[in-house]
Structure 1
C-alpha cells in the first residue's frame, strides 16, 4: 500500500465495494487521471433534488477548481458550502465478448469528494483564473487581455479540497467463461482515443503572428488526454 501521505484515506465514502483490484487510492494515479481531462461532472443536492453538472475544471495540489456565471443557481448553491462529488472518466476501449454479460469497456475514472467554497479574495481569484488558462495552454494568460471588471464580477470561482478520492481502472482484453470460447461469435477489443483535428486559424488573425509555443502539443492526431497531461506538467514544472 502507498504511504498515507501519498494516498487518500480509504473511508466508507470512497471505498470500492466491488472489483477491489481496480481501485486506486494513491495520489499519483488519481492526479494523472484528473490532469488528463478538462471536462468533469459535479454531483450535488439542492433541496432534496440531485443534480449533476458538466463543467471544465483543473487541479492545483489537492484543490480542484471550476467556475461559472455568478447568476447560476448551481454556482451560488455550491459556493455557499455544498458537499459535492466531482467525477472524471476516460473511455479507453470497447470489449466485445461471446456473451452480453462479458461485454465491457476499459476506462480510467476518479471520484473526488469535498465541500465546495467560493474564492473571495480578488487577487487570488484573478491568479486562479489565469492559472485555469495556463494549465491547459502554458503561458497564454500573458498573451491575451485581462478580464474586464464586468467579466470579473460576472464570474464566480468555486473550489474544493479533495477530502477523499478514489480512482478506478479497467484495462483488460476479451474475457469469457471457459465454456463460451466455443461460441461462434466474433470477439475483439476496440481501442478508443480522442484525438485532435487540424487547427483552423481565425480568418481575422492579425498578420505576423506565429502560433505560440504553448500550443505546440495541440497538433493534429495527438491524443487529447496526453496533451492535457503534458500541458499540466509543463505549466507546473512537474
Structure 2
C-alpha cells in the first residue's frame, strides 16, 4: 500500500474523524471517479470556487483551458489551491427530520501548481484529460492541432495534502424513535451514461465507436 498523504491542521477534519482517511489509494479512487472538480482560490482577496474537468497523473492534478482562464492563471501562479471532489452515493432517510443525511465520498486536496511548458508533457495531459472524460476516446477522435494546442494552457497541481471523508450505511436514529411509525432507509444514487444521441450534422455511415457504446447502460 502507498504511503498516506501528509496531514496538517488545514487538512484534518474536526468532526467525526473516524470517517476520514489520508490513504493515497482511497483518495485516488475518488479523484478518478469524480466527473468534476471544484477548485478554490483567492484573487485580490476575493475568493472563487470554479467547477472544472480534471485528470490525474500520480500525485499531480491536470487542468486545461484557455490561456486567458482565471482558473488556470491562479493554479499556475503558485498560490495555495484547494480542490474538492465529491461522489454522492445515497440519501439517508431517518425517522427524525434532524437525523437525515447522505452517503458520500469526498476528497479535499491542497497544493500549488505551475504551467506545463514541455510539449511532450502537454500532449500527455491532453490525452489523460480526454480519457478521464471518456475512456477510449483519444484514439477515436481528431487530436489537437497546432493552433488548438497553442491556445490551450495546461496547469499541473502537485497534491501536498489530501483527506478523504465518507459516510456509508443506514440512518443513525435515536433509540426512542426506533419503534415509531416512520419509514427509514437509504435511497441509493447512481450516475449512469444513457443512450448516445448523434450530432445533428453527423454524416451518414459514421458509426459510434465500440468503446463509447460499451460505456452506456443500453450498450
Change in 2 beyond 3 A, CA 1:221/1:111: farther
State the distance in 2 between where 1:119 and 1:110 align.
Answer: 24
Question: What does 1:38-77 correspond to in 2, within 5 Å?
Answer: 38-77=35-74
CA deviation after TM superposition for structure 1 residue 162, in Å:
0.8
1:16 pairs with 2:13: yes
Aligned residue number for residue 134 of structure 1: 131
Q: Paired residue for 1:111, among 94, 108, 116?
A: 108
CA deviation after TM superposition for structure 1 residue 88, in Å:
0.5
State the distance in 1 between where 2:214 and 2:58 align.
Answer: 23
Q: Which runs of 5+ in 1 are unaligned?
A: 223-238
Question: What does 1:1-238 correspond to in 2, within 5 Å?
Answer: 5-220=2-217
CA deviation after TM superposition for structure 1 residue 204, in Å:
3.7
RMSD over equivalenced CA pairs, Å:
2.0
What are the superposed Cα offsets for residues 28-73 of structure 1, whole Å, 9 maximum, x if unpaired? 1111111112211001111111110000001111111111211122
Deviates more, 1:25-34 or 1:183-192: 183-192
Q: Which runs of 5+ in 2 are unaligned?
A: none
* TM-score, normalised with respect to structure 1: 0.84
Determine if contact 1:195/1:221 at 8 Å carries over to the other structure: no
Residue-pair matches, total: 219
Report the 3-state secondary structure (helix = DSSP H, G, I; strand = E; otherwise coil) of the residue aligned with 2:178.
Answer: helix
Determine if contact 2:192/2:216 at 8 Å carries over to the other structure: no
